[in-house]
Every structure is written in structure tokens, then in C-alpha cells.
Amino acid sequence: MKTERARNTGSVVVELAMTLPFFLLFMYGVLECARLMYLWNTLQDSARVAARAAAIADFSDPAAQAALRKRALFRDTAGALPLGEPIDGSYLRIEYLWQDAAGALSPIPAASMPASPAQNLFNCTQDPNSAGCIRFVRASICQPAQQDRCAPVPVQPLLPLAPLDWAGLALPTSTSLARAEALGYRAGAPLP
């Protein structure tokens, strides 16, 4: 009787040893899928938060821009998005846009950016369709190496396992547009 019980216990251990790797691989897949859904939603929300914050933050103040990037990634300090390695502040692209008379939006080149929020208000008062008047702010989550276009961020798993190939998987490009508001202008500040 003891030998039959020992044999059954041994067969249970062998069956567990054979099925456990498949179960763990399945659980890893479920957790990575849940993390991808989290990243998808979080990146969209980060772009919305960044666009809204950039619409009211001083575009000429580097400290305000750094704080905006941290806040958009839901952090108090510099670093990567929680559970979103390697996405950090460098992946957040903020563009200031002008609108021509036909309604087309175009990014303002760095050389044409107003010197201050007061200068922007003055430019917009003079000609709201000039290339020196910030009318909209666009925030996107893109690869930092691609300056000419907004390339999607490739997926990086939490635990890189050799048998799984993650090449070709990318998170969708997250973009949000907001109407420019104060852009850091304080009432009573002198206009140029």
C-alpha cells in the first residue's frame, strides 16, 4: 500500500514538473498583455496631461518645462514612466503650433519662437495668423532619436525571455492637441 502511494506522489511531482513551465509561460504572457494595455492607456493620458500643462506653462522657462515633463510621466523626480522602461522625459515631444488663415497648423521653428509669453501675446494681438503666434500645443510620445517624424516606441518586455521575439511590436503613437492659453503669461507683465 505504501509503494502505491509513493508511486502516486512521484507521478504528481513529475506531472507538475512537466506542466509548470507552460503555466508560468502562460502567466508571463497574461502579465505582459496587461502591462501593454496599461502602457497604451498611460501613454495616451501622458500626452493629454503634457499638452494641457504646456498650454499654460511658460515655454521659455527650462525649469517649468522640466517640471511639466516629470508631471506628464506621473513622477515627482526625473526618471522613467512606472512600469514603462525606457520611456522618460526625452520621449515626450512638445511642439508649439501656429495656425495660418486657411486653418492649417504648422510647428513654429525654434528661430521663430517668441522670446517670452508676453511677446507671444503681443504677436497674437498684432496678427493671430503669424508664424510667431503660438495658437496650439501638441504633445506626443515618440522615439527621441527620430527628430524628423514621430516614430512609435518599440515594446520592451519587463523580463526579456529568449524564446519570445518582441521585435516589430510597437506602442501606438500617443498625440494630444490643446489650445494655447496663458503659456506662462502673468497678468500685469509688460508687453514688448
Per-residue tens of pLDDT for the chain, all 192 residues: 566 665 666 788 888 889 999 999 899 888 888 988 999 999 999 999 999 999 999 998 999 999 999 999 888 888 888 888 888 888 999 999 999 989 899 999 888 899 889 899 988 889 999 888 999 999 999 988 777 888 888 888 877 765 555 667 888 889 999 999 888 887 776 666
Nine-digit cell string for 145? 532619436
What pLDDT sits at residue 56? 93
Question: Is 191 within a domain?
Answer: no
Q: How many domains are contained in the chain?
A: 1
Q: How far apart are CA 41 and CA 23, in angstroms?
A: 27
Question: Is 22 within a domain?
Answer: yes
Question: Is 94 within a domain?
Answer: yes
Question: Is 184 within a domain?
Answer: no
pTM as predicted: 0.82
Question: Is 192 within a domain?
Answer: no
Q: How far apart are CA 192 and CA 94, in angstroms?
A: 25
E strands present in 5-160: 92-99, 105-107, 136-141
Question: Is 185 within a domain?
Answer: no
Question: Is 189 within a domain?
Answer: no
> Would residue 103 be called left, alpha or beta, if left means φ above 0 and alpha means ψ between -120 and 50 degrees?
left
What pLDDT sits at residue 178? 94
Judge whether 177 and 47 are in contact, CB under 8 Å: no
Question: Is 159 within a domain?
Answer: yes
Print the domain residue range for 151.
Answer: 2-179
